[in-house]
Structure formats: C-alpha cells, structure tokens
Amino acid sequence: MKIILFVLGYIILSTDAVAETLEVEYSSFYSHVKKLDDPSTAALRFAFGFMHIAEKRLCHVSSAQIVTQKQTLPLNVENNYRFTVPTDKILKMAKAKVVIELNDQANQCDMSVQLETLPSFLKTQYSHEELLLLFNQYQAFFEEMGGFLSFMMPSPKGLLFHFDTAVNFPTELQSLLDKNGEIALSQKWLMQQHGLELPNKPIRITAIVEK
C-alpha cells in the first residue's frame, strides 16, 4: 500500500538565523497541476510539501508565495504543512518562482507532491456513487499518465481515508482498517454497492496503488 509522491527539482536555498528559504521554479509545479486540468480528474488535486528525510514527517512550512517581477501571490499553507498552487500558464511564461519559508533545515527536507481529493469531498457520509466517482477519478489520472506505457505505471486498487487523530470506529468499520488505523476500501469492496458512514471527517483521501 503506497501513496504516490513526486519529486520536484531546481531548488535554490538561502538561510538566515530564523528560517531557511527555498525558491522553486513555478514551472516545476505547473508540470504537475496541468495534468489535472480535465473534468475526468476535477475531484483531485496535488498538495505540495516537504518530507523530512530523517524523521519521516512533513517539514514545517511557515509560508509560501508565488513571486514574479510584478506581483506576489500568497499561498495558503494548510495545517499539515502542505499547500496548493493555481494552474496558470501565464505564471509559467512569466518565469514565476515559488518562495517557501521552512522552520526546518532545508537539507533535511525533500520536496514531495501528494495526489489527493479536493477538500470539498471530505465529509462523514458517502453514497456508493460518490465513492465510485472518486475511485474513477484516480483511475482516469493513472490511465492518462500511463498511455501506451500503462503497464509501467502504478494502478489504483482502492481508496484510503486518512485521519489526523485516533478515531473510535464502530464495529462494522473495524474490518476496513489497515495496520495504520486508516480506512482502506479495496476495489472489490467499492464494487459491492456500499455507501460509507464515518464517525469523523477524514483529513484527506488518497488512492491505494500498486505497481
């Protein structure tokens, strides 16, 4: 069971006594977000962050902004230290940079990108149709990315519901828990006309993928 993470390059580092600043070309982000500019993947997004190499956690991002010669656009850093960027070809043409302030040592933080559902799909009740919609969106993404080399790409095998704190799941959901205490819905389960009712809203929904 894996969560797909993508690595971005071309990072410029500067430091001071308080924080460490990274500058990443916006084009590196654009190459990812433009892949979701289609109705077949409209329920998905890329969430950007930095993974701490030694501690296997997200590095602390205090701020992020897009900077061009003419303007600065602040980005919303979410509670889990991830942020999103707009899909804007004009920013790419303007050679914009994404400037990120870290409260961690930058040489311990690797850029990663997580494919997940939009926040509007995070709730406590899901119909069978809604669950299939989300799963089908992940399928569409990986099929599009694979093309004629689809046999080399990971394929979605289900949906994984993540929670930020320990949740007391009712008995009927216990069989759906994985070893990390997350709700894991296999493709077989999703095809069995089930809805889903949760005691808490998930913090994100990702795909269960296999190569």
Helix (H, G, I), strand (E, B) or coil at 14: strand
Print pLDDT tens along the chain (211 aa): 444 444 444 444 544 444 788 899 999 999 999 999 999 999 999 999 999 999 989 999 999 999 999 999 999 999 889 999 999 999 999 999 999 999 998 888 898 899 999 999 999 999 999 999 999 999 999 988 866 555 567 789 999 999 988 889 999 999 999 998 999 999 999 999 899 999 999 999 999 997 6
46: tokens are 């890329």
**Main-chain phi, psi angles of 65, to 5 degrees:** -155, 150
Question: What is the rounded distance in angstroms from the CA atom of residue 124 to the CA atom of residue 122?
Answer: 7
CB neighbour burial string for 186-202, b if at least 16 within 10 angstroms, e if fewer: eeeebeeeeebebeeeb
- Choose among 8, 106, 72, 87: nearest CA to 41: 87
User: What is the value of pTM for the model shown?
Assistant: 0.83
